[in-house]
Amino acid sequence: MIRIGLFSKLCQVPVKTLRYYDEIGLLKPAEIDRFTSYRYYSIAQLPRLNRILALKDLGLSLDQIARLLAEDIPIEQLRGMLRLKEVEIQQQMRKEQEKLSLVAARLKQIEQEDEMSKYDVVIKKVESQRIASVRDVIPAYPEQGALWGELETMLSQKKIKRTGSCFTLYHSDEPKIDAEVCEPIAGDGSLPADARVQTRELHGTEVAAVIHHGSFATINEAYGSLVKWIETNGYQFNGPCREIYLQPPAETGNQNDPDTVTEIQFPVVKA
């Protein structure tokens, strides 16, 4: 029987850690003095500790290790745990890889422009949502006002309220702009059976997004940054772009308000 300090030296594990393992029941000392509470370990406990360390090196949690050491684990379960861990590590590696390329892209961008970009691109998931929309080809971006009028009229007639920010889907670019103005509505919204206004489910997707703060006059910069980011970070476009008007419900509108906040989202997939 040896005391904790010597045991610690033999196994190269700090005393504090041994006490912690005792506390959580992972490795109890062979004996504890009833009067002094001194922990006494047996050299024969080294193999168990070694097994603990080896399993820890695989990335298993102490909790999992405790369960594995519980003596009556079928080999099948061990195999399962390891396979699970294998997958976990692979996922983790992919994440790290992702981070690495993001960092590298940022660095490259700093090299080129010598400052931090005004826009920050984030990848996020957008949930599936039910929308009411009006779609048409318009000659110029500001011309979508008419479409908004049609949509609003219909919705207020039917007394349907929107459940989120309204937005425009751009199905095609200039010069023939194929725009669809949309408002999210409740899931049970009755369809109006109207030729112009239709309701449908807009399915969820991953998007790359930036937020533009300022008048629409300068929104091109935001588009430029976002498109460039998507290309340099190895994503591919995967659907029509969404331009979301993030005004608080009260104040919808003024195109040139310098406090306008707009989110631009491009559905993407990792190439």
* 143 binding partner (options a copy of itself, DNA, none; Cβ < 5 to 8 Å by kind): none
* 19 binding partner (options a copy of itself, DNA, none; Cβ < 5 to 8 Å by kind): DNA
Distance of CA 196 to CAs 102, 139, 144, 152, 191, Å?
43, 18, 14, 12, 12
Of 140, 127, 22, residue with least CA distance to 14: 22
63/127 with CB nearer a copy of itself: 127
Q: Which residues bind a copy of itself (CB under 8 A)?
A: 1-2, 9-10, 12, 43-44, 46-47, 50-51, 53-55, 57-59, 75, 78-79, 82-83, 85-86, 89-90, 92-93, 96-97, 99-100, 102-104, 106-107, 110, 114-116, 120-125, 164-165, 209-211, 213, 246-248, 259, 261, 263
Question: Rounded to an integer, what distance in angstroms lies between the CA atom of residue 43 and that of residue 30?
Answer: 9
227/246 with CB nearer DNA: 246
The b/e string for 56-74 (b: 16+ C-beta within 10 A; e otherwise) is eeeebeeebbbebeeeeee
85/228 with CB nearer DNA: 85
Minimum Å gap between C-beta 177 and DNA is 35
Question: Rounded to an integer, what distance in angstroms lies between the CA atom of residue 262 and that of residue 255?
Answer: 11
Question: Rounded to an integer, what distance in angstroms lies between the CA atom of residue 237 and that of residue 269?
Answer: 7
* 80 binding partner (options a copy of itself, DNA, none; Cβ < 5 to 8 Å by kind): none
